[in-house]
Amino acid sequence: MHCLRSAIFIGLLAATVANAQELKGFGMWKVSDLKTIEAQLDHEIRPDHSARRTLGDYGNHRVRLIHRVGTGAPEFHGNFADLWIVESGQGTLVVGGTLVDAKPLSGEETLPGDMTGTSIRGGDHRQMAAGDIVHVPPNTPHQAIVPAGGQITYIRIAIPVR
């Protein structure tokens, strides 16, 4: 009987390893995982009032958790769309309009076609809160505005358009 249990265990273990190999590129993040990462990010805030962690980088797209405790700079992406899933907090999204004083965005996290500016002229203001899902098409200026003393944390999925 002991040999039978051992054989079943080894068979299940082998099946688990085989399934893991078949799921290359698979990613899953539990709410508890995201809350833990958000708490860590709260201690990693950069001068731009944000902290971020790449959850998965899959070559043609990536999944990141972004935690903001203040208003970020306006931006624009020429080669991908943004999909945001708001996890906690609230803020205002300014979207559309014209990026004022546009210049290429620099840094190790940027992609070709990324731009920033000093503000957005003529954009729409949309309230965001936990549970909201936002899709920002490529070539669309956008900016997350966080109220004083507030925060917003969202999953950002950068989706290539070409």
Residue 84 identity: W
Domain-located, residue 128: yes
What is the domain extent for residue 59?
Answer: 47-160
| pLDDT tens track for 98-145 | 999 988 887 666 667 888 899 999 999 999 999 999 999 999 999 999
Domain-located, residue 121: yes
Which residues contact residue 121 at a Cβ distance below 8 angstroms, ignoring those fewer than 6 apart? 97, 98, 100
Domain-located, residue 70: yes
Q: How many domains does the chain have?
A: 1
Structure tokens at 101: 């004083």
Domain-located, residue 41: no
Distance CA 54, CA 155 (A): 10
| pLDDT tens track for 18-38 | 445 567 888 899 999 999 999
Residue 125 pLDDT: 97
Average pLDDT of every residue of the chain: 86
| pLDDT tens track for 39-50 | 999 999 999 999
- Check which CATH number belongs to the domain holding 64 and give it: 2.60.120.10
Domain-located, residue 73: yes
Distance CA 76, CA 104 (A): 9
Residue 13 pLDDT: 47
CA 12 vs. chain centroid, Å, equals 35
Domain-located, residue 28: no
Domain-located, residue 35: no
Domain-located, residue 14: no
Say if residues 155 and 68 touch (Cβ distance below 8 Å): no
